[in-house]
Each structure stands twice: as C-alpha cells, then as structure tokens.
C-alpha cells in the first residue's frame, strides 16, 4: 500500500483510507460482525486511515470502532468529527461549533472510542453562528491537552480554511470529490497545497453510483438515503447512468473495474488527495485497495476528465436544504 503525508504533521497514512459511515447508517441495514471483519481486512490490506463521526448511527460508529481498536490502537490513524448535533432518537438538531460544545463532543467521542487521543479531529460542518476562530481556538486547546493530535475541517470554504489555519494549523480538509463532484478543483486544491493541508475525499465513488452497481433504486433499502439524493432521482438518474456506462467501457479496456478507475483517477491526478471510499464488504475493500497499483497516463486522465465535465452531471450533491450547510 502506498502512503501519503497527512498535512505537515510528519505522519503518513495509507493512500486510500476507509470511510466507516455505512457500517452504522444511511445505506440500509448493517451487521457489526461483518463490519468488524472488513475493518480487520483493511489492516491486512495496509489501509490504516479510518474515518468516523459522532453522528454516524448517533454514536454507534464510534462504539463499533472502539471495540475494534482494542489491541490495535497503534496500527490505526483515526479520524472522527463533531458538529452535526442529533437527539437521542437520531433527530437532527442543527450544527454547533461553540467552544463548550466542541469540548463536550470530544469528551463523548473519546469515551465511545475508548481511547485517550483522537488522531485527526474534524469540525464536520461549519457553524455559521459561531466564529471559526472560537471553534478552532477550543480545538487547539484540546491539542494542547493531548486529547487530539491534529485538526481538520469538513465542507468548509476557502475563506474559512484560511481563518482557521491562522488560529492553529489545519492538517486536513474533507469534502466530497470524485469524477462527478469536482468543485474543489476550482480553488480549494491550490489553497490546500499552499497551506500544507491534505485533502481527504469522501464519496470518491459517488455513493457507489460510479461503480455501476446502482442501476435502479429497487434494490436499495427503504431507509437508504440515496433514495432522496437528487442525483439518484428520475431524469437525473438516467442521465447520470450514461456517464457510468462510459466509465465502465474505459475500465474494461484497462482490465479494471469502474471503482478502481474512479479511485486511480483521483490518485494519479492529485498527489495531495487521500480518498476514503466506504464499504462494509471485504470484496469491495480489496478491490478498492488494488486501485493504488493502477497508473494512468496524462492522456488517460484527460480522457476521464472529458467524460465527466461538471455540466454533464445532473442533480445537486444533496437536497437543497442540506446544500446550504456546505462551503461556509
């Protein structure tokens, strides 16, 4: 497994990480025993960068990882997040970044994870009501106290990143990035490179759409959140399917899967980006890990770029009310 530096921390992580959200929520039923087997397989494949959040399963994901980490803590670089507040029954209560909440959220995550220090602690969404200086100021104090090693922001704007970085070095920015979500290319990548910030790409397989596996919504669980995602709806779904067919043809010519090419495109195009595809199955985890061995030529990268211009993708990343929480 190739490795990539995590910001200017001196720490390196596997070139592909593992997003753990689906092990707890959003993609239908999950099985803890199966998830734990996949986590073991991740370490066997050389994947040591695991990504969680306190909101995934409203604590379940962190508790799952807490059990997994026993006896393996030194083998894992663990990232988790705070800021999306949920009630005891999972109800959404908004976004919060006050210093008091930062501290209480961190203490709760540490308890669920059963660890003393979080390697990378993100603000999951920026709280527009709390100055970023106040939020990161408290995150900085957590670093000084040894409860957190490094800091990150998720779905922030370039302006917010710069303000946060002035308070304390930000080691990673996490935002959606894939062949069909290329917004960060406009400005964020160059700013991250300038500041020495790694870019962590979530949903690098387009919530499995880019794999070609989702040809209809009929097979998705009733509570699978993709049923309400604009890119999976009606005419947008049919239009986007044509893009995946072109990707599948490209992948077949390379004797690879669509998922592997989608990941290889990121890895070969952006040296400062660490994709974190999520999966609950060992088969797909191993398939994803093998993408690190694929080398694409500049001409092949340009061909893929041309297949997925922003204008060709139908639908927004999230429903409109959620889009308002991004790029703040």
Any domain includes 325: no
Strand partners, 175: 201
Q: Residue 62's domain spans which residues?
A: 3-207+264-294
Domain-embedded: residue 47: yes
In-domain check, residue 156: yes
Spatial distance between the Cα atoms of 24 and 78, rounded to a whole number of angstroms:
17
SS3 label, residue 149: strand
SS3 of residue 117 by DSSP: coil
120 in a structural domain: yes
Specify the DSSP class assigned to residue 178: B
Mean pLDDT value across the chain: 96
Sequence-ordered alpha helix ranges (H) in 53-167 = 60-69, 99-113, 132-144, 158-167
In whole angstroms, what is the distance from residue 249 CA to residue 193 CA?
A: 33
pLDDT at site 29: 87
Residue 36 inside a domain? The answer is yes
- Summarised one tens digit per residue, pLDDT across range 106-127 is 999 999 999 999 999 999 999 9
pLDDT value of position 219: 84
Q: Which pTM does this prediction carry?
A: 0.96
Q: Is residue 322 part of a domain?
A: no
Please indicate, yes or no, if residue 109 is contained in any of the structural domains: yes
Question: Looking at the 3D structure of the chain, how many domains does it have?
Answer: 1
Query: Helix, strand or coil for residue 324?
Result: coil
Q: Note the pLDDT tens digit of each residue in 258-300.
A: 999 999 999 999 999 999 999 999 999 999 999 999 999 999 9
Q: Is 121 a catalytic residue?
A: no
Model pLDDT, residue 87: 85
Over the chain (328 residues), what is each successive 10-residue block's mean pLDDT?
A: 96 98 92 97 98 96 98 97 90 94 98 98 98 98 98 98 98 97 96 98 96 90 91 93 94 97 97 97 97 97 94 92 91
Catalytic option among 56, 101, 122, 177 = 56
Q: Is residue 202 part of a domain?
A: yes
Q: Using DSSP, state whether 53 is helix, strand or coil.
A: coil
C-alpha distance from residue 147 to each of 110, 133, 229 (Å): 8, 19, 36
Residue 62's CATH number = 3.20.20.100
């Amino acid at each position: 497994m190739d490795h990539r530096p995590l910001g200017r921390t001196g720490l390196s992580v596997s070139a592909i990480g593992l997003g753990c959200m689906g092990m707890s929520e959003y993609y239908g039923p999950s099985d803890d025993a199966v998830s734990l087997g996949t986590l073991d397989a991740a370490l066997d494949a050389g994947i040591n960068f695991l990504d969680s959040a306190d909101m995934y399963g409203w604590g379940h994901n962190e508790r799952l990882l807490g059990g997994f980490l026993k006896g393996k803590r030194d083998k894992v670089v663990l990232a988790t997040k705070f800021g999306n507040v949920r009630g005891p029954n999972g109800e959404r209560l908004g976004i919060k970044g006050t210093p008091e909440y930062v501290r209480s959220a961190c203490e709760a995550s540490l308890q669920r994870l059963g660890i003393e220090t979080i390697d990378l602690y993100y603000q999951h969404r920026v709280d527009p009501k709390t100055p970023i200086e106040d939020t990161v100021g408290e995150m900085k104090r957590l670093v000084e106290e040894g409860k957190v090693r490094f800091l990150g922001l998720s779905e922030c704007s370039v302006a917010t990143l710069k303000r946060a970085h002035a308070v304390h070095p930000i080691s990673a920015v996490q935002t959606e990035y894939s062949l069909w979500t290329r917004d960060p290319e406009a400005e964020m990548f160059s700013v991250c490179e300038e500041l020495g910030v790694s870019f962590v790409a979530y949903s690098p397989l387009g919530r499995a759409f880019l794999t070609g596996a989702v040809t209809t919504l009929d097979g998705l669980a009733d509570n699978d959140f993709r049923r309400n995602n604009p890119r999976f709806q009606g005419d947008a779904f049919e239009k986007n399917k044509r893009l995946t067919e072109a990707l599948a043809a490209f992948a077949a010519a390379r004797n690879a899967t669509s998922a592997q090419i989608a990941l290889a495109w990121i890895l070969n195009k952006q040296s400062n980006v660490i994709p974190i595809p999520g999966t609950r199955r060992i088969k797909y985890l191993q398939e994803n890990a093998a993408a690190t061995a694929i080398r694409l030529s500049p001409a092949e990268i340009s061909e893929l770029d041309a297949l997925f211009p922003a204008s060709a993708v139908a639908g927004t990343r999230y429903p409109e009310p959620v889009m308002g929480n991004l790029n703040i």
